[in-house]
Structure 1
């Protein structure tokens, strides 16, 4: 009976040790939550930067299209592989 009691005490002590200092322990979980919060903050910053870069890229594309349109209509510029045809109405 004493051996069984000793085995059960050791078993409970092992479980408690894992709970307090092991991989599933409270300090480990707190550390993981902190790392998760930092990663989420970094993701928010990265998403904001990506949105800003996408907006800049869109502005550049639209700006280049506008410049090309003005060059074609006002300066009668054509691309090297194009043929200019003028139609009067």
Structure 2
């Protein structure tokens, strides 16, 4: 009966060793859990970015003012009844 007890102890130690030390044991499970949590954070950030882009697309589709503003800021376009003034910094005349 004593050898059965020793056998069970050895098997238990071997299984615990596999659980804690093997490549597909506890460490891998913990690392995968951390990776899933990180991916969820990235997904949430991307969802927020996509929502902002969707709102911008809808605004550009439905409103002329948004399209004009975008053309002015990104493309440097000027409206028909507008005058463009370019301000050039003066040269420093104190330098020789």
Deviation of 1:34 after TM superposition, in Å, equals 0.9
TM-score by length of 1: 0.61
Provide the residue aligned with 2:26 in structure 1.
29
**How far apart, CA to CA, are the structure 2 residues paired with 1:61 and 1:67?**
11
Structure 2 unaligned segments of length 5 or more: list them. Answer: 66-96
Residue deviations 1:36-75, cap 9 Å, x none?
111211221122112101110011112222129xxxxxxx
Provide the residue aligned with 1:61 in structure 2.
58
**How far apart, CA to CA, are the structure 1 residues paired with 2:47 and 2:33?**
21
Deviation >4 Å, runs of 4+: none
**How far apart, CA to CA, are the structure 2 residues paired with 1:32 and 1:67?**
53
**How far apart, CA to CA, are the structure 2 residues paired with 1:46 and 1:7?**
52
Question: What count of residue pairs does the alignment treat as equivalent?
Answer: 62
Q: How does 1:1-89 map to 2 (within 5 A)?
A: 4-21=1-18, 25-27=19-21, 28-67=25-64
Residue deviations 1:12-33, cap 9 Å, x none?
1111111111xxx123112211
